[in-house]
Structure formats: C-alpha cells, structure tokens
Amino acid sequence: MPQDCDELVPATTFTVYGRDFERVRTPRPASGSAVAQIAGQDGRVCTWRSTADEDVTVTVAVAHLPAAQITQLEDALFAQGGSVPTYTVEGYYSLRSGTGRADAFAGPYWIHTNSTLFTEPGTAQPVVDAVRHAVAPDATAPTGSPTP
C-alpha cells in the first residue's frame, strides 16, 4: 500500500468530530479482528487518538486483495445486513458494544474503520470517503450491487 496514514486520512478529516487527534505510531490490532486480518494481508493499519480523551480512537485499515477475496468479504457482510448506499461504493455499517464499524469495497481495496465516534453510518462517512478518495478515487458500486 503506497499511501501512508496521513495520505489515507488527512488531519482535516477529523475536524467534523470537533476534536484534535494524534496518530498512534504503533497500533496494536486485537487478535482475530478485521484490523488484524487486514494487517495480515500486508495492509495499512492506522490509529488516531483524541488529544482530549485517549480512550477515543479512530482506526483505519486498508488492504489490496484479490477479487475473489473481496467478493467473499462483501457476501459475508451483505448477509449480516447494514448496507450503506451513501458510501458511494459497496459499504456496510454495524454498531456493537458502543463501537461503530464501517467497511467499504473500492475496487480491489477493503477499507475498514472503527471508532466509538461512529454512532451511525454517517459519522463514519468522512473517514470512509477520505480513504476511498486516496486509494480509488473513481471507484463506484458495481451495477447490481446491493449498495447503489
């Protein structure tokens, strides 16, 4: 993945949350998590922490994957529900234990982000949009996709 964390999510992206964030230089994905799965695929993992409350973080993970693997992931998330048409590409959102999770598929890229700030699909959208723009600016949902 050629883009670094600051290219994937420019600092200005975080202004919508009304907080200042700093990058965590050595993110530690939880074993078995989507973030750990992406890290295991030689993807990029980035975490930012609120300067006012270190318990508030935003994590982004992106991997370039083969088409068959992307389709498998899309199908699994589609089966769980939570399709988000506003992500421009095929996207999904879920909220569990106070943490919002957004996944988007832009061409060969799996974009994953999570945060306690993401209380609904729209609160994750600025981050999803920033990453999508960085890795696949022309990507759209495929025709016939559940997410137009």
Backbone angles phi, psi at 19, to 5 degrees: -140, 155
pLDDT of amino acid 114: 97
Quick one: pLDDT at residue 147? 43
**Residue 2: its pLDDT value, please?**
78
Q: Can you tell me the distance from the alpha carbon of 112 to that of 87, in angstroms, rounded to the nearest whole number?
A: 12
In 3-state terms, what secondary structure has residue 84?
coil
pLDDT at residue 138 in the model: 84
Record the pTM.
0.91
> What type of residue sits at position 77?
L
Q: What is the pLDDT along the chain (148 residues), one digit of tens a residue?
A: 678 999 999 999 999 999 999 999 998 899 999 999 999 999 999 999 999 999 999 999 999 999 999 999 999 999 998 999 899 899 999 999 999 999 999 999 999 999 999 999 999 999 999 999 999 888 776 655 444 4
Structure tokens at 14: 């975080």
Taking the C-alpha atoms of residue 83 and residue 61, their distance in angstroms, rounded to an integer, is 19
The tokens describing 58, both together, are: 């935003």
